[in-house]
Every structure is written in structure tokens, then in C-alpha cells.
Structure 1
Amino acid sequence: MGGEIESHARVRAYVREQWNALSSSSDADQKITILRDVACLLPTSATKSHPEFKDTESFNKARDIFTKYHYSRFAGNLLDLLSHDWVSDLPRKAIRNVIDEFYLKGSPQDVFPILCTAVYTSPPSYKQSKSVFLLEEFFRLDLLKMIFLNQVEKHSVSTSETVSQAEMWDELVSLISSFPDKMANALKKQISQVFMPSSYIRIISTCLVEGLEKCHMLLLEGKDCSLEFSSQVLGKLCLSGYSETLWKHLLPSLLVFVRRDFVWVRLCERLITGIPDRCMESVIIPVLTSVPWFGMVESLLGDSVVHKHKLQYLLCTKLLLMRYFEQTLLLQNVLGYLASSHTRKPLFKSCMIRVLQVWVDGSAIKRTSYQQHYYLSKALLICLSFVKEGEQNDYQECLGILMRGMQSHLGSSDPKIRSLGMVVAESLTRTLQPHGPQLTFEVDKDESSAQLISLLVPPEDPHTQQAHRNMSGLSLAAGDHRGEVNSGDEVRGSKLQVTTQPDFKEEELDSDDDFQPYDLSDDIKVTEVMTPHYIRDCMEGLIKPESPDQTEACLRAAGQLIRTNPDGLTEISVEFMKILLHLSDEESIPEFSALRFQAMVALTTCCPAQVAEYLTGEFYGENYNLRQRLDILEVLSRAAQDLASPVKQGESDRPKAVQQVSELSSPESWQDVVRKRIEQKTRRFAKGSSQPKPVSVANKFAPVAGLFFFPLLLQYDRKQNTLDLLGRDSLVLSRLVYTLGVVIHAAVHTPIVRQMGATGLEFIWALRYHGDGSVRLSVLFTCAMLFLSVPANFLVNELQQEVTEVKHWLQDVAETDVNTECRKLALQALILLDAALTQEFQSATIS
């Protein structure tokens, strides 16, 4: 013990003496001599003797003590001493051989913090430039890799040394993870390419891989090793925002390692799961979105999800229920990893039940975005893909949860939500009770439903798929060696096997069977029903049809008859609309809905006052279903747009069919033909428009706009047995609000639009916080149409307080609404409002 204390005192005195001489000396040779003597005590120095410590034992002790206790302070003080004046009398070769090697041959875990601190804390100077140069050499000589390799070896140390080692690790981890950012802050545009994130992260990934390889070698030799330092660096770098770049370089090597042996599997698992809990999410998510198959996730994570609570919360709760990702691969990796082992199977089952409970919750459907709900639907379909044959009885609880929550989907006003409910319900009942009663719906096949159905097939190992492709390639190649004659014989043999029927004899076949049948695919159906030529005949055919063909003929002719024979239509328009409104498709007529809708729109356009008054009055009637009420709103909105649309000169009262007939019946004269040819080949260079000015026509919608709008607002808050707009029938309410917006926009430039705007703003203000997202979307649409149609001076002068409140509400919706479409539409409404107000203020300033 006394000898140890004496050695420490002797080394301390020697280092102090040399530093005092170095800092006060002005002789270049003396400086070089002092630095060379001190450099002999470096651990990588090739010198075996020292003038102060002459025997080998004392020299080795002095080297260990200097490296452990004095090197960091001496190297840091030497950097502070460096300046242009101090090194001006030193030969360039001496600076490179003595000063540079003093840092590049020192302990890497001590040198790296010293150089980084010198760069961060120094202004532009010789000291900073020298530190940057030394760091570049540090990276070039792979000394950063030595830090990782040194920390891999596990040594037996005392408690005090363990504390100091933990402090050193924290400092190194912090420096390594923040190195690119701090270097950029210190050097600005003068930063070296080596220190850029792309190059630096590639170096770090190489260090991590070589650290794993050294661990593997130590384990094969029966020695202890540690990946704690590497895990901390990995977690801190991912937490600092370099996760995608780091895993892009690191993951391919890990996927190769885990296919070699079980030792590599354990090493990769320790590297990933040994990260601190605060870094877990930033590390795991890039892994789950990049690993091509869920079987490899098991090799990287093992069974750590069972005993690590942070990882279990992340995989089983947060990634499934609190976040959503566009990549389907993440869900397949998470759920496939949980379902691929009997130890994790209980977690998989609980996850499936919890996801289903959230999926059927009506409150969650209304208050979450469609993307989140679609994400949950994908999770459920992926869960079903991992339910194996014979395990259906373990998941019968899911069927009860599904039946209790299907009403929330089928009663939703969003057709996409209803479609998701149908697809998931069909798939779940088909998988969990393949031999029992199943739910079936008429689902429109679109891209979303097709993607969901494709998830019922679990993904395969890409290496297996590649092997199958290689085998098929080999079989094809083998077939090529057999020759074309053999393959042709096989084809002919297969054809002969299909076409030949041994049960019949050739002489028994009728000669007429050799004739080819006629192609009837393009034939037109011929009907004996006469097409009606008068409106009353059309009405009678719809009321009392003699055959389905007569109903179809009357319905196809209704729209054209209404537009070509407007005379006398006013008296029978309401009766005709009543027939069309109550007409049902009992004969399954093709395009029934479109033909009926065209006829109703034509009738409303030709007789707007009478028909609009009837439809708005019947909208709140008691003996109507939701489909009929939606039809009323659709007809009113379409007719309002048609009435407000300007028509070309000469087309106001003449249908297109009549115009075409008149054009054909009056052939052009030769003068007209010549004049048209001259006009087509004439180039005009005169200024001004060569086209005649448009002729103004009366707005047909202006006199009847109020009939389309105000009656729809009278009884919206009245609850009936067949209609509850403020309750269960939010689908009709959203369509009503949308129709009001369309009518307001159709009434632009009309005198009554001011009153409609004030009334409409008061109406939608009461619905701004509705729980159904489709209603909020309709409210925002109507609000945007109001800003687009109502004069800006009326908004500023008469509705100033209301507009201010609406603006604050729109800003809140654009920032906090859970529905993505609502946020987008609120932002568009704000843009329209700001544009209208800006234009009004500019015009007021000019005047």
C-alpha cells in the first residue's frame, strides 16, 4: 500500500514539474524534449524506458498512473497553451510528430472529449483549427471504433471505479450522440464532410457492428463481454433524431447476423432491448417499419416483451391504440411477433380484444379520424390472419363484442366507416366461426376494402419467396432442356384430354353441332311497349304499370318529356313529383335511381316554385324514410345549381334535342360555308376582343331562392318517430346542412342572399361542435359557401360580431379537430374569409 502511494506521488510530482517547465519555456528544443518525455508514458508508446523511471516495473506503474489520472488534464492544458505564438518557433515536423501523436496515441475515450470540448468552447483560432484537424485524424485512424471495442470487454472493477466509469460513459454517450449538431453549431459553414450526419452515422453503425463481432468472438472464447455502452449510444442517437439513418446502415448487418446462429440472436437482442426505457420508442418504431418479416422481429427482440414493461406497453398499447402509421408492415410485424410464440400468445389475444373494443366503441368512431379507424381495422384483419385452424374457440368473446358494436358502424353517416364495418364484420365471422352463421353485406369493392381483405393472408419470409422463385426458375430451365417437341406434345396432350369425351361416339354426334353459334353480345333488346309521348301518359304508366317494361319506358322518357313540353306542366307538377318521390324499384330496373333523379330534377327546374314548396314541406313529413328525405335534399341542391347556371344565348327555352333537330332541318347555304372557311383561315392582329360581348340573361333562381332555403330551417329541432335530426339521424342532418350551403352559393349576386347568409350563419353556429364528423364537415362547407357568396360589405357592417366569433372558431378547428378533413376545410374557410375581408378593406380605403 505504501509503495502504491509513493508511486502516485512520484508521478504527480513529475507531471507537475514537466508542465511548469513547458508552460514557462521559450526554447523550442526544450519544449520538444519535454513533450517527448511525457509522451513516453502514453499506453501506445513504443518506448520501453524513461529517464525518470528507469527500471521496468516503476516505468509500467508510472505509465498506468499517468494514463488513468493525469493524461486528460495534461492534454487539455496543452490545448489551451497552443497558439500561433507558442508554436511559431517549432519545426512543422516536430508539431506533427510530437504534438499530434500526443493526442492520437493517447487513450481514445480520453482524447475524444478533450478535442470535442476544445472545438465547442473555443472561438475561431489556432486552437480550434488544431482540434478540428486532430478530430479528422481521429476518425481517419478509426480511433472512434476503439472506444466501442474497449467498452465491450468486461473487467472486474471496484465500486468507486464503477461510479467513475458510469460518469465517463454518460459523458461519452452524450458527446457521441450530439456530435454532428454541436460541430455544426461551432463550425457553421466550415464544417468538414466527415462530421456531417450522413458520414458520421455511417461510421457509428460500423463501430456498432464491429463491437458486436468482438462480443461474438469473446463469447466463443468463453470470456465475458458487455453491450451496455453500445446500447446507450444506439438509444441516445435514435432519440436525437438519427434513427432512420442509423437503422438504414445497421439493420442489414443485424438481419444477416441473426440467421447464422443462436449466439448472434442473443447479441442482437441484448443490443436492442438493453437501451434505456426513455429511448425505447425511437429505437423500436424504425425497426418495426423496416424489418421485412415478423419472424425476424422475434430474432431481434426475443421474449423481452414478456418481462420488459416499457416494451410491452409500447407494442401492445401505444402503437396499436394511440398512434397510427401508414405502413402496414409495422402492424404485421407487431402482431405477427406476438402471435408467433406460445409465451406471447396471451398478449396477442388481449391485444386483439382491446383493439376490437376500441373499434366498436361509438364514441371513439365519432371522435377519432378516419385514418385512425382504418388503422384499427387493418390491425383486426391482421390479427385474424394469425388465428390458426383449431384456435377459433379461444376467440369467441370477440364475436359478442362485434355484435354489440356493429350498430355504431352501420348507423354512421360516413359511408367509408360503414364500408369498414361491413368488411371487418364479414371477415371476423368468416374466420372465427367458419361452419356457423356468418354476416354478409353488399360491400362496394374499392381500393381500401381490397387492401383490407388482402391482409387476411399472413406475410411470408422473403427468403422463402426468393427460394420459390429460384426453384421455379430451375424448373423452367429444366423444361427448356427437354426441347420444344416435348413441350408441344404436352400441350397437345392436355388439349386432347380436355376436348375429348369418351362417353360419346363420333357417329352419334349431330351434324348441326359443328356450326358456330351467333354472337349475341351486341344485340339490342327489343320491347313491344310503346314509349309515351305525353306527360300524362307517362304519369299513368308509372302509377298503374302493365309490365316492368312499361315502367322502365315511362321512367326513361320522363325527363325528356318534362323538358320538351313545359306547357301545362305547372298544374300537374306537384302530382308528378309525388309519383316520382314515392316510386320504388320493384322490378329491378337498370339505372333506376339515376333515371328517377333526372326526372325529379327536370321537374323541379321547370316548375321551381310549386315543386320546391312541395318538397320542402314534405321533408319533415312523418311517412318518409331516410332515403326519400335524402333524395329531396339532393334534388333541391341539384335543381338550385341548374337554375342558377347561366345559359347560352338562344338556349334558354329550347332543349338540346330540339336544337339539334332544327339544325339538321335547316341546311347551310354555300355563302355560309364559304364565310366559315374564310374565318377559320384568317389571322387577325387587331387589338381588342373579336368575340361579341356576352348578353346578360335573367337569373332564374333569384325569384325562388327563398323557397329552397327558409322552409328547410323551420322544424329541424323537432323530434319525430321517423326523423330525429339532432339525435340518431345525423346523416340526414349533415346532408341538410350541405344542401343549405349549395343553395346559398347558387343564390350569389341575388338580393335575398344577405338574409340567407345571416340566417344560415345563425343556424350552423348551433351545430359547430356536433359529435359527428360528417356534420362538422357540412357545417364548415356551408360556412365557406357563405363567405364566398354573401357580399363582403354585409359581413363587415351587419355581421361583424358573428364573423369575428366564427373566425376564432375556425382557427380552433384548424388546430385541434380530430378529423383531418375538418382541419383542411376550416383552413380553406379561413382563407376565403380573409380574402373577402381584405378585398372589402382595400375597396373602402380607395373610396
Structure 2
Amino acid sequence: MLTLHHFVLQYFIASPRSMFVDKFLLWKVFPVSCLKWILQFAVCECPPSTSLPGQNRPGLLKTVQRLLATWSKKEFVQTAPIEQQAYITAALGLSLETMSKEELDGMKEATHLILQGVSGRLESPNHLVRKMASSIALAFSKIIDPKNPLYLDDSCNGETIDWTFGFTDLKKGTLTASNSRKNGVEETDISTISGSERESDSLPNKEKDISLKGKKKLLDFNVLDPDEIVDPVSLNLELDINDEDDGDDSASENSYSSSDSSLQPYDLSDDDSDLKRKLSQLSDVVAALRKSDDADGVERALDVVEKLIRASPDELKHAARDLTRTLVQVRCCDIALEGEEESTEDKRQRALIALAVTSPFESLDTLHNLLYSPNVDISQRIMILDVMTEAAQELAESKITKPKHKTSSLVSVVSDTRPWFLPSSTGTPGAGSWKEISGTGTFLNWSNSYERELPSKPYQVKKGKTRRWSLKSPASEQDLMEYSHNKFPMYAAAFMLPAMEGYDKKRHGVDLLGRDFIVLGKLIYMLGVCMKSAAMHPEASVLAPSLLDMLRSREVCRHQEAYVRKAVLFAAACVLVALHPAYVSSALLEGNVEISNGLEWIRTWALDVADSDTDKECYTMAMTCLQLHAEMALQTSRALESARSSFRASPTLRSDASKMTVKIPYLNGS
């Protein structure tokens, strides 16, 4: 009887514990504090208040084996919500911290599963997923060799590992991250896509070398004076001038009026910097960049190349292709000093952006050839797409300066008693009176000339002053105004069409639909930015069907990686923003079903993503797509009504035009 009672008691105790292990470790998501209690009570079978590892070591090893079997699967990383991935990673990490090397060696394929899961997560573009891999790798290395822990992430540099991964709040059964997650496509807020795009950090990629961290804002550049004469050699000197203080600048300006005794002696000792050749031609820059064994020469070339390109010399058109290829092939990690790799990468990327802006057709032709070339690696492909993205944005947001339009009164008020033929007395204060200049003495001279003396300016230095003379009248900054001038639409086809060709072909070293899904996401994001940059222009209406055909392919819109699906949603939203409602209505009236089918696909696919996708950001972006589609459909319906009222009696109006309208979501149960 005692044995039966003991068996029943053990059953009722073991049943809740098995429920905790089966349900609360693999299916549910709880805070880390609750997770620790579950591991102590259900797995280690020790009181929750104690810190001992417990006596049920076989149960712990069995639980770790089950967690590893789930955690190491690639499908789990692709389909499971990020909160559940963080929860199971924390459970596995907390369990590994209590294990010894002997216990780990005794488990079947434990080391293989850990390495498989770590390597699979390190390839993810999601920073949080990579942080999970580095945390498990650190816990695993402490078991193998406690004296030499393996740090794959800068955030994992302490003795203890933060298994919360920034998830601190429990709200409505799900965890919310307290820190900003970096798993979006360029972290672009799709809800504000029709407005200004927020500043984005770099996309986390496979390795630290691959990642172009610190994604730069759009390059701010001053509009050059067309009459200004630019000396390319002086561009090299600007680097040194920028490092000087304002006081030194003012002192140099007054050096002309100073006496000879105040001149500083010049050091005539040997200085290697004086002996270095100044790079003033693009051909010299290309030659210096090709000398990979001369790190200093490559650095000097990268320092000056952007300024030379922005100056738009005559040789740029002929050297653009060669310079573009050379810049892409430069290995910045080999020439830069330790810790300065990002600065060197930044110089190279800004130079490529300047090339794509100042010489688009020549540089884009080379960039597209290199994009699918087997001779470049994944980091170079990502850099090429980043360059094209920022170049498109810079072209779309370029500015020009024009003089302000001043309206003058049609009726003049005469308040001066001087004769009408004399010049106006308004002008520089302190100027003398007008005096007539005697003519040439011929009878054919019907005009009178006048002159007057002008006072010298207090800051004007007569000695050593250089002036530039031109036909252009000087205009002060107050008389100039900046205007936006979108230069991108004329280059939109050159940006987009070659990039969309061959993305689905598997070549040697190139597999965008499979292994290189990060490049595919970057490519789709770049195409979306290009479409947004050409918004409300005729070029957007021409290029939209081709982009929609690419997005509709099953390998793209149904991609296993959420990163690619988010890129597709972003590009689809850009199409909705870029198309003018008047064009959509005219396409419907003319019977162009291509654009209407594409827009209808966006609606149905966004509904499907919002209903079935496990990624929360995909859900949010899909709902935003539906909202943009509804707004565009409303504007298109108004344009159709206006067309019907204007051309009701026109024989060109199709009889079935009313059947080809764009559906508005959630209207009449649709």
C-alpha cells in the first residue's frame, strides 16, 4: 500500500514537471526570472531559492538535448518569432552555464548542434539573432576552456551574460524589447515612406568586415559657383587647412599687411611629406589606388579622390569607368591601420557615391557589371548596392541656387528733385556726387557718362589683393534662394533595369535566392528607394510594372527569410507612393490590365502577410501597405469620376471601365 501511495505521489509531482518542460520551455514565452524558476523546479528538481545545480543531472542533460535539437535548426531561425528565439536561447544558455566539460562530452552530437546553431545565426542580418549566437558561443567556450572565453560580440565582454537580450516587459503574453531592434530593412519606417526618410544605421551583415557600419546621411555639398576657377592641386591643401583653427585663418589673412620682420622662419630640414607628389589628376589617383603594396599612397588617393570627382574635371567622363572598378576592388582592410578600417571604407564609399552622382551612366555601367561578377565577394556587392541607394537619394534631393524674384512697383514715386537723366544717388554711404565725363567729341555720341568717387572699405587691403573678373554680376547670399531639383528620374532606368536582370540566375559565387539572401534584400531595397525617388514622374509609371513582376515571383515574395519579405513590402509601398492616381485611372480607362493586376496583387499579398506571417514587423509593414493602397484607390476613384464627367460623351471611353477599378480594402466586405 505504501508503494502504491508513493507511486501516485511521484506521478502527481512528475506530471506538472513534465508539463513545465514540454510546454513552458518550448512553446510558451515567459520573463527570464520565471524561466530560471522553471529550470530549477522542473529540470534541476531543486528549491527555487537555492543556487545549487540540483541533483537531477540526467534530466538536465536530456532537456539540453531537446533544446539543442530545436535551437540548431535553420527553420526555427527563419520562422519562429524573435521573442521565442530569445526565450529558448536563454533557456539553453542558463542550462549550459551549469554543465561541466565531461557532461558536455557525454552528450550525443551536442558540440555539433551548438556549432551548427551558432554558425547559422551569425549569417543572419538581424543583430539580435547574431547576439544570441555570440552569447551561446561564449557560454560554450567557458565550458571547453574557462581561461580563454570566446567573445564574438563587443557587448559580451563581462563575466555574466545578459540572457534577457533587452526583453524586459511582459505585456499581453508577449515580450517587448526595451532596446531598438535592428532587424528591419535599413531600419526604414515604412509608415513615413511618403515623407522624409529617417536616418538609418547600417544593415548588419555576415561579418564585421562585411558590415558597412554607421550608414551615412545624405551627403551635404555646397553648390559650386560655375564661374569659379578650381585648381585641382589646391584640393589637396584643403585637408590641412580644415585642421587649423579660426584664429590661424584670420592671422593668415592679415599676413599681407604685416611687416617683413613678423614672418616666421621656414624649416628647411628634410620632410617626407613635402617630397610626396600631390595627386591632382584622376589618372594619378587610379594609378595610386592600384599600387596595393603602397598603403600610404592608397590612403592619400582616397583622401583626395572625392574632391577631385566633385570638381567634375574634363577627364571624369573618360576615367569614370576605370576609377569605379578600381575603387570597388580596393581592399581597405589591408591598407588601413588597425581601428581605422571604417574611416577608409567611408572614404571609398563616398567617392563611389560622388562618381554615381556626377557621372551616372559610365559609373553605373561598371557597377552593374561588378554586381553579378564572380570576382567580387558579398561585402563588395553590398557596398555597390549601398552606393547606388545613396546616389539615387542624393540625385533626388539635389538643390540649385537661383536669385530671388523681386517684384517692383509699376508706379514709381518721385521724391528726388534731381534731373531725371542723372543716376540715382542711392548706393554706398559716403560716396561723392556724380560728375559728367566729357565725351569723345564726335557728334554721334548721344549718351552721357557720369562718375563719382567711392570710399575705400575699412577691411579692404590694397596691397596683394587678387580679384576675379567675370560677366556674372555678384549676388549676395541674401539675394539667392535654394530650390529642390530632382535629377534622378532621367537616370532611373539606368539604376533599375540592369539590376533587375539576372537576379534569379545562380552563377559561380552568386546565389541571391539562396545563400546570398542579404544581397537580394539589399537589391530590393535599392529598387524601392529608386522608385520612391522617381515618385510622381512619368518614369515611375514606366518602371513600376517591371518591378512588380520581380516582386510577384514566388521565390521573392514567399522567401523564407523575413529580411527579404520586409524588403519586398518596402518596395511595394514605394510603388504605391510613386504612382500618380491620374496615371492609374488613365491606365484603367485604356484597358491596361498590367498595372491594375500588379496593384491588386499588392493588396491580396499584403492581406495574406498580415494574416499569416510570424514576423511582427512584416505584419506592421503589410498593414501600412494596405493603408497606402486604400488611399491610392480612393484618389484613383476620384480621378475616374472626374474622367467620366469630362468625357461622358466621348467614344473613346470604354464601356467596361467601371469594372476595372482598384478595390478598396474592407469596403462592402471585400
Task: Specify the TM-score bucket, using the shorter chain as the normaliser.
Answer: 0.5 to 0.7
Larger mean CA deviation between 742-751 and 835-844 belongs to 835-844
Return the alpha-carbon distance in structure 2 between the equivalents of residues 412 and 394 of structure 1. Answer: 30
Name the counterpart of 2:561: 772
What letter matches 2:330 in structure 1? L
What corresponds to 1:445 in structure 2? 155
Checking the alignment, whether the CA contact within 8 Å between 2:68 and 2:113 is kept in structure 1 is: yes
Query: Conserved in 2, the CA contact under 8 Å of 1:563 and 1:602?
Result: yes
The one of 759, 771, 775 aligned to 2:546 = 759
1:253-306 Cα deviation digits (max 9, x unpaired): xxxxxxxxxxxxxxxxxxxxxxxxxxxxxxxxxxxxxxxxxxxxxxxxxx9897
- Per the normalisation by structure 1, the TM-score is 0.48
Contact map agreement 1:577 1:603 (CA 8 A) in 2:
yes
With over 3 angstroms needed to count, the CA separation of the structure-2 counterparts of 1:810 and 1:597, relative to structure 1, is same
Identify the residue that residue 330 of structure 1 maps to in structure 2: 34
The aligned counterpart of 1:363 is 75
Aligned partner of 1:315 in structure 2 is 20
Shift of 1:308: 4.3
| Aligned residue runs from structure 1 range 719-798, under 5 A | 719-766=506-553, 767-795=556-584, 797=588, 798=592
Q: Distance in 1 between matches of 2:304 and 2:322?
A: 17
Report deviation, 1:535: 2.4
1:432-581 maps to which residues of 2 (within 5 A)? 432-434=144-146, 440=150, 442-445=152-155, 453-455=161-163, 528=273, 529=276, 532-544=279-291, 547-581=294-328
In the alignment, does 2:493 pair up with 1:703? Answer: no
One-letter code aligned to 2:336: S
Cα gap change, 1:630 to 1:527, in 2 (>3 Å): farther
Deviations 1:24-58 (A, max 9, x none): xxxxxxxxxxxxxxxxxxxxxxxxxxxxxxxxxxx
Using the TM superposition, give the Cα deviation of residue 603 of structure 1 relative to its aligned residue in structure 2, in angstroms: 0.9
What CA distance in whole angstroms lies between the structure 1 residues aligned with 2:429 and 2:536?
Answer: 44
Take 2:110 and 2:484, find their aligned partners in 1: how far apart are those partners?
Answer: 64
Q: Write the distance in 2 (CA, Å) between the matches of 1:622 and 1:314.
A: 52
Q: Which residue of 2 is the match for residue 588 of structure 1?
A: 336
Per-residue deviation, 1:452: 7.9
Instruction: Return the alpha-carbon distance in structure 2 between the equivalents of residues 451 and 365 of structure 1.
Output: 27
Structure with the larger RCO, 1 or 2 (CA within 8 Å, 6+ apart): 2
> How far 1:815 moved relative to its partner?
2.3
In 2, are the aligned partners of 1:381 and 1:427 still within 8 Å (CA)? yes
2:458 alignment partner in structure 1: none
In the TM superposition, what are the counterparts of 1:56-71 in structure 2 within 5 Å?
A: none
CA distance in 1 between counterparts of 2:562 and 2:278 reads 46
Amino acid at match of 1:322: W
Identify if the C-alpha distance between structure 1 residues 335 and 432 changes in structure 2 by more than 3 Å, giving closer, same or farther: farther
| Matched residue SS, 1:649 | strand
Please give the residue correspondences for 1:613-692 in structure 2 after superposition, counting only pairs within 5 Å.
613-649=365-401
Amino acid aligned to 1:331: L
Tell me what 2:91 maps to.
Answer: 379
1:613–1:708 CA contact under 8 A, matched in 2: no
Deviations 1:55-100 (A, max 9, x none): xxxxxxxxxxxxxxxxxxxxxxxxxxxxxxxxxxxxxxxxxxxxxx
Q: 1:697 to 1:413 in 2, by over 3 A?
A: closer
Distance in 1, matches of 2:159 and 2:429, equals 62
d(CA) in 1 for partners of 2:618 and 2:150?
32
Instruction: Return the offset for 1:738.
Output: 1.1
Is the Cα–Cα contact under 8 Å of residues 357 and 395 in structure 2 kept in the other structure? yes
1:88-138 CA-partner distances (Å, limit 9, x unpaired): xxxxxxxxxxxxxxxxxxxxxxxxxxxxxxxxxxxxxxxxxxxxxxxxxxx
Q: Is the 8 A contact 2:64 2:92 kept in 1?
A: yes
Which stretch has the larger CA shift, 719-728 or 310-319? 310-319
Number of residue equivalences: 439
Q: Which residue of 2 aligns with 1:430?
A: 142
* Equivalent residue letter for 2:132: L
Q: 1:313 to 1:743 in 2, by over 3 A?
A: farther
2:622 to 826, 829, 833: 826
Q: Could you say if the C-alpha distance between residues 306 and 558 of structure 1 is closer, same or farther in structure 2, counting changes exceeding 3 Å?
A: farther
Q: Percent identity?
A: 23
CA distance in 1, matches of 2:244, 2:90: 45
In structure 2, distance between residues paired with 1:305 and 1:386: 26
After superposition, the Cα gap between the structure-2 partners of 1:746 and 1:451, relative to the gap in structure 1 and judged at 3 Å, is farther
Q: Any conservation in 1 of the 2:101–2:144 contact (CA below 8 Å)?
A: no
Q: Give 1:527 deviation, angstroms.
A: 7.2
Is this contact kept in 1: 2:123–2:130, CA < 8 A? yes
- CA displacement at 1:531 relative to structure 2: 5.1
Partners in 1 of 2:11 and 2:582 — Cα distance?
66
Instruction: Please report how far the alpha carbon of residue 313 of structure 1 lies from its aligned counterpart in structure 2 after TM superposition.
Output: 3.8
Q: Give TM-score scaled by structure 2 length.
A: 0.60
| Superposition deviation, residue 761 in structure 1 | 0.9
**Take 1:827 and 1:634, find their aligned partners in 2: how far apart are those partners?**
27
Alpha-carbon distance, 1:605 to partner = 0.7
Within 5 A, what are the aligned runs for 1:189-200?
Answer: none
Paired with 2:58 and 2:117, the residues of 1 have a C-alpha distance of: 24
CA distance in structure 2 between the aligned counterparts of 1:567 and 1:750, rounded to whole angstroms: 31
Distance in 2, Cα, partners of 1:545 & 1:395: 49
Shift of residue 434, structure 1, vs aligned partner: 3.5
Q: Which runs of 5+ in 2 are unaligned?
A: 1-7, 47-53, 165-242, 246-270, 404-426, 431-477, 646-670
Find 1:836's aligned residue among 615, 622, 632: 632
Deviates more, 1:779-788 or 1:408-417: 408-417
Supply the distance in 1 between the matched residues of 2:83 and 2:584 (Cα, whole angstroms): 36
Could you tell me how far apart the structure 2 residues matched to 1:637 and 1:741 are?
9
**Match for residue 418 of structure 1 among 106, 111, 130:** 130
2: CA distance between counterparts of 1:314 and 1:409? 29
Q: Which moved more, 1:730-739 or 1:549-558?
A: 549-558
Residue 317 of structure 1 aligns to a residue in which SS? helix
CA contact (8 A) 2:400 2:483 kept: no
Q: Is the 8 A contact 1:331 1:379 kept in 2?
A: yes
Q: CA deviation at 1:429?
A: 2.6
Distance 2:641 2:32 in 1: 56
Q: How does 1:38-53 map to 2 (within 5 A)?
A: none
1:401 aligned to which of 105, 109, 113: 113
Distance 1:545 1:803 in 2: 50
Displacement of 1:412: 3.0
Distance change in 2, residues 1:455/1:362 (3 Å): closer
Q: Which has the higher helix share?
A: 1
CA drift of 1:669 comes to 8.1
Q: Which residue of 1 aligns with 2:350?
A: 598
Deviation, structure 1 residue 370: 2.1
Aligned-residue offset at 1:568:
2.3
Rate the CA distance shift 1:610–1:523 in 2: closer, same or farther, 3 A: closer
CA shift at 1:340, angstroms?
Answer: 5.3
Alignment partner, residue 802 of structure 1? 598
Which one-letter code corresponds to 1:556 in the other structure? D
Alignment-mate amino acid for residue 418 of structure 1: R
- On the 8 A contact 1:305/1:311 being kept in 2, the answer is no
Kept in 1, the 8 Å contact 2:104–2:110? The answer is no
Secondary structure in structure 2 of the residue aligned to 1:752: helix
Per the alignment, do residues 670 and 567 of structure 1 end up closer, same or farther by CA in structure 2, a change over 3 Å counting?
farther
CA distance in 1, matches of 2:295, 2:377: 24
Q: 1:617 to 1:455 in 2, by over 3 A?
A: closer
1:352 to 1:544, Cα distance in 2 relative to 1, 3 A? same
| Residue pairs, 1:81-120, within 5 angstroms | none
Is the CA contact 1:754–1:790 (under 8 Å) kept in the aligned structure 2? yes
What is the aligned-residue RMSD (CA, Å)? 3.4
Deviation sequence 1:356-382 (CA, Å, 0-9, x none): 221110011111122221222222221
User: How many angstroms apart in 2 are the aligned matches of 1:810 and 1:843?
Assistant: 24
Asked if structure 1 preserves the Cα contact closer than 8 Å seen for 2:532 and 2:577, the reply is yes
Q: For residue 630 of structure 1, give the secondary structure of its aligned residue in structure 2.
A: helix
